[in-house]
Structure 1
Amino acid sequence: MVEFNENSFATIKFTLTWKSGHGIHEEKFLARKVNAWRDFLPEELKEQLEGTKSGESVTVDFSAGAGVPKHELSKVRNIPHRKFKIRSHQFKNQPARTGRFYPQGTLTGLPGVYPQTAIPFRVLDRTGTDIIADLNHPLAKIPFELKSEVINVASKDSETGGRLTHWLEEICNWGPGMQAAPKKQPVDFIHEDFFNRPDDTADASFYSSPRLIGHIDKQASKNLQSIYKRFLSPEMKVLDLMSSMESHLSPDIELDITGLGMNMNELRMNPSLNGKVVQDLNINPELNFKNNTFDAITCSLSIEYLTDPASILKQAHALLAPGGSLLIGISNRWFPSKVTQGWLEMHEFERMGYLLQLAEESGFKGEKGTVSIRNDWRPVTDKHFVSTRGVSDPVYVVWCKKD
């Protein structure tokens, strides 16, 4: 069996695990082609991976500031309000909001920062004249564990030129850490236009014709199933909110599932459902079920359409039996005319932080956390395989336990 070394390529599934004041967070990232000769891996990780074979795994712990740039006070700066500007025409003239992340390109006058700079910074606070901007990496103060599962190893005949990949940057940059809220105060997510939608006509008209298509590719759906499966066991009663033709629940677990959605024809196409309810939660948000009834409540790829999600989550908390799980799955695909403005304003990882905060405010005080899966293989038969370069849609799950 081929061993991982500088004369081989490997496919490695990385799992980064870290904790915040809100819970435990797990980021899965598939490194499709790791070249130990050319790519950059932390020395301690490279040493442990040396000689591993398919099916083996290693784990390395990183102290705060070891795996990503360490926190520096010099990167916390006072920036005059006039030097902050959102350049998107859709969201222009909005002020910086406390706790939110923005691209550094929204700031002017910083050395090495240009309008195209997408590296995030966080607004720690606001004064009458300035915003307090933290330009440190979101994980700069956080220790984390990195597990590396070797999926496949193949020999290489020769070394050719190509792209050098810094794998820890691929895993840690552009998102992980943004779920965590500041310790002193909640994030100021909500504003006057947050729940506005491009098409504010009745949702019943939009969903009157069945849409018998999946929102995400088949591998992404399997990934969503795999996360949900951790919280489910046979014979559980499950409420699938905003359901459709599929529930993203593993078919190998016998569950009693009630689906609540917008179109009965779509619900009838869903083989997982035992019960079906047609209801527009933006018009009629009352969930007419008995309290403490369900062992799990899921909401998959739809919460971004709700104009009062807090009301729904408060009721979900009441409907769950003690110890029950709330599971919210999201991706980066939606119906553009029906998604809320606030959802579009947030980074993909920041949306998980928003949902965690919303859940806490809705009564979920027990265990909670997030899981992300990125860069997986998209099925070669998928019609978007070429345009996505074979990359599966990312999936993100926020989970909360009722205490």
Structure 2
Amino acid sequence: MSPTNRVKLSLMMFMEFFIWGAWFVTLGTFLGKELSATGSQTAAVFSTQSFGAIIAPFIIGLIADRYFNAEKILGILHLIGAVLMFQMYNSTDFAGFYPYVFAYMIMFMPTLALVNSVSFNQMKDPEKEFSSIRIWGTIGWIVAGLCISFVFHWDSAEGVSEGLLRNTFMMAAIVSAVLGLFSFTLPKTPPAVEKGEKVTISDIIGLDALKLLGNKNFLIFFVSSILICIPLAFYYQNANLFLSELGVANPTGKMTIGQISEVLFLLLLPVFFSKYGFKKTILVGMLAWAARYALFAYGNPSDLSFMLIIGIALHGICYDFFFVSGQIYTDSKAGKKYKSSAQGLIALATYGIGMLIGFWVAGLVSDAYKISDTQHDWQGIWLVAAGIAAAVAVLFAVTFNQKKEDDLRLKTGS
């Protein structure tokens, strides 16, 4: 890869995830504090991510893979996204805000696959080259959070009371417009499907990979992936609002500790995975979700503030040890023919179905434990989430047979 293309792809990844981190982390606080949204209304907004994830394969499979260069579609989607984000900035109530955030997520979620496509198209060995490009996305997310907390102070108690969190949408809109224009300068990435080649709906959404569910272990993993996304949704939907209500200073900036942790544990994952195997690795990820929510339940911003920080820092284990190890396991089980279909199916199950259910459950629980318009019984909310995560871990531990995986690996020599 040429140095120029490496810089371009790194900037693309930086802006892609800067945009997401610029508004999504503080969304729950914005909805609760500025739009007076209920738990169910907040869940409806966060669920737009799931709808976007469900619709994204059709946009990629029916349009990007067949008719237009990926970098051009990426640019168009981000330019439209900038307009929608500006409308979200201008919205003053939930009814006016929701249609724009729904439309925005339909535009944004496909871009997550498009930036990968543009990157992979320039690489001779993606397994070695991609991580050095993708890490700039995590850095972009971290920088967005640091800007909100330590540069602009929009998430401070004074900033929230003055309605400054609204500015996160303007910041995201500006960067989205910049990335939209910048995308047209990216390396050309022509359609993946040649003219005349047929692409079925089954190909697009990964239905061919359903054959893998005939394997009992993979079926258990598939169901567990959906279920573990229920407690995961609690974190995305409630964590920033939780820290804000507790009076934690610079909550968005502190939450970037989770992304820093994600980078560190990503480096440790191959060692842990090869030494302890898939079952123990994924169990550690599941139990980390239960542990972090228990820490949130009993921590406080004064003498037990370290519990909150540890809970945030566990994000690296929670995400990497479950989701990344799950992607590796899926790749190993799929075989060459179904690799892409299987990954698409797991993405649909987690970010689509699992998170959709999770946001709905989190909204119901948040409403059930609401004390007043400005306060929640957070201990009760986090203990519910911890209980769900622990139950999924027990289910997986009891039903998944690691010995069968080890025996198969010995037979095949893999």
TM-score strictly above 0.5:
no
Range into which the TM-score falls when normalised by the shorter chain: under 0.3
Using the size of structure 2 for normalisation, the TM-score is 0.24
Q: Which has the higher contact order (CA 8 A, sep 6+)?
A: 2
> Greater strand share, 1 or 2?
1
Using the size of structure 1 for normalisation, the TM-score is 0.24
> Greater helix share, 1 or 2?
2
